[in-house]
Amino acid sequence: MEQDKLLRLLNDVRNGGVSPQDALLKLKMEPFEDLGYAKVDHHRSLRHGIPEVIYGAGKTAEQISGIIDAMRAHGNNNVLVTRVTPEKAEELGKFISVEYDAVSRIAIYGRKFEAKTKGYIGVVAAGTSDIPVAEEAAVTAEALGNRVERLFDVGVAGLHRLLSRLDVLMSAKVVIAVAGMEGALATVVGGLVSCPVIAVPTSVGYGANFSGLSALLSMLNSCAGNVSVVNIDNGFGAGYLASLINHIGEAEA
Site for its own copies in 152-171 (CB under 8 A): 152-161, 164-167, 170
Site for its own copies in 113-142 (CB under 8 A): 126-129, 131
Nearer Cβ to its own copies (107/130): 130
Q: Which of 51, 52, 56, 59 binds its own copies (CB under 8 A)?
A: 59
How far apart CA 9 and CA 7 sit, in angstroms, is 5
> At closest approach, how far in Å is the CB of 186 from its own copies?
8
Nearer Cβ to its own copies (36/97): 36
Distances (CA, A) of 106 to 79, 141, 144: 10, 12, 13
Q: Which of 5, 29, 62, 77 binds its own copies (CB under 8 A)?
A: 29
> At closest approach, how far in Å is the CB of 97 from its own copies?
24
Angle at 216 between CA 215 and CA 222, to 5 degrees: 85
Choose the binding region for its own copies from 71-79, 87-95, 109-117, 199-207 (rule: CB under 8 A): 199-207
Q: Decide: is 64 part of the binding site for its own copies (CB under 8 A).
A: no
Choose the binding region for its own copies from 44-52, 68-76, 87-95, 104-112 (rule: CB under 8 A): 44-52
Q: Decide: is 102 part of the binding site for its own copies (CB under 8 A).
A: no
> At closest approach, how far in Å is the CB of 86 from its own copies?
15
What is the side-by-side order of every strand in the sheet holding 106-109?
52-55, 79-82, 106-109, 99-101
Q: How many CB atoms lie within 10 A of CB 191?
A: 15
Tell how far CA 165 is from the center of its chain. Answer: 25
How far apart CA 129 and CA 75 sit, in angstroms, is 38
Nearest to 107 by CA among 129, 130, 88, 133: 88
Phi/psi for 160 (5° steps) reads: -60, -30
Q: Decide: is 52 part of the binding site for its own copies (CB under 8 A).
A: no
Q: Decide: is 149 part of the binding site for its own copies (CB under 8 A).
A: no
Binding mask 201-240 for its own copies (x = CB under 8 A): x-xxxxxxxxxxxxxxxxxxxxxxxxxxxxxxxx-xxx-x
How far apart CA 1 and CA 5 sit, in angstroms, is 6
